[in-house]
Chain A
């Protein structure tokens, strides 16, 4: 009896978090007049909400922009983050401790303080309305460096010494020896970086004005807020569904890694 109650509560909980998404998808497929009804299945399924989104905004282009920006950032964060993380964990040089504390300091710095001057920097660099503005300020971050540093410290020094005797230089040690032995750390950093940059919207709203360069969340936000969706709920929700789709597909396949990665960042705090 107690077990039954437990399962009822859990199923109720699962519905609480999933039902709104299911409702959203069904609303995008329903005729406009039927949206908002409590029933899930519309009388007939139509795709006009989606075709209107594609007609009104360059959502395909925005998808490409988001993908390009996100992949560039993720690559940069993995490469640069592991380079710095390696230096801090395994190499001895003057200033190492100072750099470590600088990185810790940037982790505690609220972004609200750098928002305005970073925008001014973009203006002065002539980067407003370019991919540079979306990518370069995110190419490195303190979280990834610390994550790699912690992980590399757990790798046996013998492995590195052996590679050095074989004539590997430091970059070869990093990419040929440490990377293959650090898959969990690489996956965690990649997932977190991919997710946060895919979902980032404040910065694009500030530095991108040209529609053809907008990222997906930005374009969808402006579409919904700017009134071009008029008051058609189905069209707004269709735009939101398209925005959610890539991450949800990735999540369905790799949900265990998503959850572990996010949880591990929380625990590092």
Chain B
């Protein structure tokens, strides 16, 4: 390696990224911390307020409500996602005609914008005219308040998100399942293993990394929830679908509480990182 001659070139190649990093990552992170000690609406001068923002945050019912909403979302979304994805992946993991077609069909909602999916499901979830309630009424049952009932609204969003994302996980589980040589199952059958034993001792170890990934990616996705409640409910009814990002958005761009919104952002980011680290620790043990 001719260090002396070409030593400038690598720096030229990476310099755009370094400028980018300094401007759009490093500066915002540092400035975020500065903002947490201030009250500011961008227009008037910044006002130093010490720890006021943090004191306000620990008493902020809406912030904690938004965290609970996220937990409700994740508790439904993650297991449902794993079960449905695994089910269809198992179905696809055989000699099939039209396998590519089925895979592409399951994957379709993944590529379509969340805005489209949300507008579509808004109509499906409609109380009087929605498709789901029409089916339910046809079956002779009582209408469900998918988005109008506080206890039902967040689960409804979680179903919708599962429907949108599950195609990706079907494909990922399928990749995992295909790493298992068919001889393993044949050998296990000869030994007299039942369905559960085959699943527990052959399938599960093969797809464990995928489950791990589904949990992490769904968690990050759940913490980023924004456009779905923004379009469907605006955070209601009774704040039952207020996601933390929606709350930060409202504080920042509705009330222009920049200092407080930045504080919410930092605390929330720390919570996200903690949850992901804990999940990693717990899942890696298995």
Contact = CB atoms under 8 A, between A and B. Distances in A.
A93 B8 CA distance: 9
B31 A87 contact: no
B16 interface: yes
A269 B216 contact: yes
B149 to A, nearest CB: 20
Contacts of B13: 83-84, 86-87, 91, 170-171
Contact of B115 (A38, A119, A199): A199
A117 B120 contact: no
Given A14-B102, A117-B35, A93 B113 contact: no
B283 to A, nearest CB: 13
Contact of B105 (A14, A224, A247): A14
B108 A18 contact: yes
Q: Which of B14, B119, B126, B167 is the most central at the interface, judged by chain A CB atoms within 10 Å of its CB? A: B119
A202 interface: yes
B216 to A, nearest CB: 7
B24 A118 contact: yes
A102 interface: yes
A233 B113 contact: no
Contact of B168 (A6, A217, A263): A263
A205 B32 CA distance: 20
24 contacts: A20-B131, A35-B123, A38-B138, A84-B13, A91-B10, A93-B10, A99-B17, A109-B29, A110-B220, A110-B223, A113-B29, A113-B32, A113-B269, A116-B258, A116-B261, A117-B35, A136-B24, A170-B13, A201-B113, A233-B123, A236-B119, A243-B116, A244-B112, A269-B213
A13 B102 contact: yes
Interface string A30-56: 000001111000000000000000000
Contacts of A118: 24, 28
B108 A199 contact: no
B175 interface: yes
A187 interface: no
B134 interface: yes
A21 interface: yes
B9 interface: yes
Interface of A: 6, 9-10, 13-14, 16-18, 20-21, 23-24, 27, 35-38, 80, 83-84, 86-88, 91-93, 96, 99, 102-103, 106, 108-121, 123, 136-137, 139-140, 145, 169-171, 195, 198-199, 201-202, 205-206, 217, 220-221, 224-225, 233, 236-237, 239-241, 243-244, 247-248, 251, 255-256, 258-259, 262-263, 266-267, 269
A6 B99 CA distance: 12
A224 B118 CA distance: 11
Contacts of A99: 14, 17-18
Given A114-B29, A115-B265, A80 B16 contact: yes
B51 interface: no
A133 to B, nearest CB: 11
B269 A109 contact: yes
Interface of B: 1, 3, 6-7, 9-11, 13-14, 16-18, 20-21, 23-25, 27-29, 31-32, 35, 42, 88, 91-92, 94, 96, 100-116, 119-124, 126, 129-131, 134-135, 138, 163, 167-168, 171-172, 175, 213, 216-217, 220, 223-224, 226-227, 230-231, 234, 244-245, 248-249, 252-253, 258, 261-262, 265-266, 268-269, 272-273
A55 to B, nearest CB: 19
Given A14-B105, A99-B14, A259-B103, A240 B131 contact: no
B31 A117 contact: yes
A123 B121 CA distance: 35
Contacts of A262: 107, 110-111, 168, 171
Contact of B113 (A38, A217, A263): A217
Contact of A137 (B24, B126, B172): B24
A185 B126 CA distance: 43
B21 A106 contact: yes
A87 B14 contact: yes
Given A9-B91, A116-B252, A221 B111 contact: no
Top 3 nearest A-B pairs by Cβ distance? A117-B28, A113-B269, A14-B105
A199 B3 contact: no
B16 A91 contact: no
Contacts of B116: 220, 240-241, 243-244
For A91, A112, A118, A119, which residue has the most chain B Cβ atoms within 10 angstroms? A112
